[in-house]
């Protein structure tokens, strides 16, 4: 009876009324470091450009109209979204079997595999990307292996291409799809899949009709996480993408840092955020339909 507080203590401590001030630290943190910067970026995106300060005095819609009218920017938007989509699909396809195995195995090596899964997170991002720089270069491991296997005669260009960026991002974000899926799959009663088999369904039928629908929350969480992270990733496309593999995040930083066009850069960032939010809104609607029968 140690866990249950007596009614007297509960009412004296006000357990029924929410203790609102407990959220203050989090609220302050959010307002200072999330809401205020966002507001300042939004405001900045409507300011006139200036050569003497970060932005001028007047307000204008010019930056948005330029961004929307520019086919070059739409090209990069499309490339960024496509890269994000490919990274999300590939990490899902690669991560699902790993998560499934980890969730079901009773092997004592499971913890070793788990460490392998999260190992990309244990090394700094720049260091990892630098390793990819070496692997993907023209004389690097990837090209040498392909040549040795007789698949290619001359090295293929991997660095400074969207493909190079995609490969790098897949590696970086694989754990982000495995971990939510693992939690989700572990929560599914293994006897449910056994029940499917006992009722006459093959492994594949049982997977498609039972396990897969039940793992939709994990798929949804993991894919949104990877999609958002990969379209906003900066280090990997900046180091592996060159100009051919440039993504929106890289472009925004170029506007801000290289060309010092803060209002235009802000408009670009807001524009990208709006596109991302719409994509996710559509995706949530679609996945919510698939999950409406789940508890």
Partner 1 sequence: MTTLRLDRINKFYGAVQVLRNIDLDIAQGEFVSLLGPSGCGKTTTLRCIAGFETVDQGTIFFGSRDMTRAMPEHRDLGMVFQSYALFPHMTVTENLSFGLEVRKIAAADRARRIAAVLEMVRLTGFEKRFPRELSGGQQQRVALARALVIEPSVLLLDEPLANLDASLRDDMRFFIRDLQRRVGITTIYVTHDQSEAMVMSDRIVVMNRGVIEQCGPPREIYERPASQMVAGFIGQSNTVPGRVAGRENDTYLVETAEGPIRSLGPDGLSGEVRVMIRPENITTDPGGGTAVPAANMLAGRVVKSVYQGDGCILGIESAGGTAFTTNVRADSPLGAGAAVIIGFDARQAWAIPA
How open is the CA angle 280-129-169, to the nearest 5 degrees? 25
- Which of 197, 208, 259, 284 binds partner 1 (CB under 8 A)? It is 197
Cα separation, 186 vs 194, in Å, equals: 15
Place of tokens 């799809």: 177
109 binds partner 1 (CB under 8 A): no
Q: How far is the CB of 279 from partner 1 (least distance, A)?
A: 26
- Give me the DSSP letters along 173-226: HHHHHHHHHHHHHHTS-HHHHHHHHHTT--HHHHIIIIIHHHTHHHHHHHHHHH
196 binds partner 1 (CB under 8 A): yes
Tokens of 14: 């006000």
Cα separation, 176 vs 222, in Å, equals: 6
189 binds partner 1 (CB under 8 A): yes
Cα separation, 167 vs 217, in Å, equals: 26
Stretch that binds partner 1, among 155-163, 176-184, 193-201, 243-251 (CB under 8 A): 193-201
- Which of 23, 61, 145, 294 binds partner 1 (CB under 8 A)? It is 294
295 binds partner 1 (CB under 8 A): yes
- Which of 81, 136, 159, 214 binds partner 1 (CB under 8 A)? It is 214
200 binds partner 1 (CB under 8 A): yes
- Give me the count of residues in the chain: 295
Tokens of 110: 């499971």
Cα separation, 55 vs 263, in Å, equals: 6
Q: Which residue lies nearer to partner 1 by CB, 53 or 199?
A: 199
Cα separation, 187 vs 104, in Å, equals: 11
Stretch that binds partner 1, among 59-67, 153-161, 195-203, 245-253 (CB under 8 A): 195-203
In this structure, are residues 266 and 45 in contact, taking their beta carbons and an 8 Å threshold?
A: yes
208 binds partner 1 (CB under 8 A): no
194 binds partner 1 (CB under 8 A): yes
Q: How far is the CB of 197 from partner 1 (least distance, A)?
A: 4
Cα separation, 146 vs 156, in Å, equals: 9
Sign of the dihedral defined by the CA atoms of residues 195, 200, 205, 209, in that order? negative
Q: How far is the CB of 202 from partner 1 (least distance, A)?
A: 6
Site for partner 1 in 36-95 (CB under 8 A): none
Q: Which residue lies nearer to partner 1 by CB, 166 or 220?
A: 220
Q: Which residue lies nearer to partner 1 by CB, 17 or 293?
A: 293
Q: Which residue lies nearer to partner 1 by CB, 105 or 144?
A: 105
Q: Which residue lies nearer to partner 1 by CB, 71 or 295?
A: 295
- Which of 191, 243, 258, 289 binds partner 1 (CB under 8 A)? It is 191
Three-state DSSP state, 146 = helix
Positions in the binding site for partner 1 (CB under 8 A): 189, 191-192, 194-202, 205, 209-210, 213-214, 293-295
């Amino acid at each position: 009876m140690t866990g249950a507080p007596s009614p007297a203590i509960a009412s004296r401590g006000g357990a029924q009324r929410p203790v609102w001030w407990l959220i203050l630290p989090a609220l302050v943190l959010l307002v200072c470091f999330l809401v205020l910067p966002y507001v300042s970026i939004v405001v900045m995106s409507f300011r006139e450009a200036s050569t003497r300060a970060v932005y001028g005095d007047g307000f204008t819609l010019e930056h948005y109209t330029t961004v929307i009218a520019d086919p070059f920017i739409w090209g990069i938007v499309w490339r960024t979204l496509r890269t994000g989509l490919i990274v999300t699909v590939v990490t899902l396809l690669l991560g699902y079997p790993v998560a499934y195995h980890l969730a079901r195995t009773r092997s004592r090596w499971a913890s070793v595999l788990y460490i392998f899964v999260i190992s990309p997170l244990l090394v700094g991002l720049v260091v990892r990307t630098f390793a990819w720089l070496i692997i993907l270069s023209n004389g690097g491991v990837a090209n040498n292996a392909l040549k040795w296997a007789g698949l290619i005669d001359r090295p293929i260009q991997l660095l400074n291409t969207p493909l190079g960026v995609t490969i790098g991002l897949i590696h970086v974000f694989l754990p982000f799809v495995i971990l939510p899926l693992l939690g989700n799959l572990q929560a599914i009663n293994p006897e449910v899949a056994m029940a499917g088999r006992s009722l006459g369904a093959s492994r594949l039928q049982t997977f498609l009709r039972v396990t897969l629908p039940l793992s939709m929350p994990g798929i949804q969480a993991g894919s949104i996480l990877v999609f958002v992270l990969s379209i906003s990733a900066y280090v990997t496309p900046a180091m592996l993408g060159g100009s051919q593999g440039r993504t929106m995040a890289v472009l925004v930083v170029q506007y801000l840092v290289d060309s010092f066009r803060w209002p235009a850069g802000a408009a670009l960032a807001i524009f990208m955020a709006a596109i991302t939010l719409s994509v996710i809104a559509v995706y949530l609607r679609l996945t919510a339909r698939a999950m409406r029968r789940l508890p």
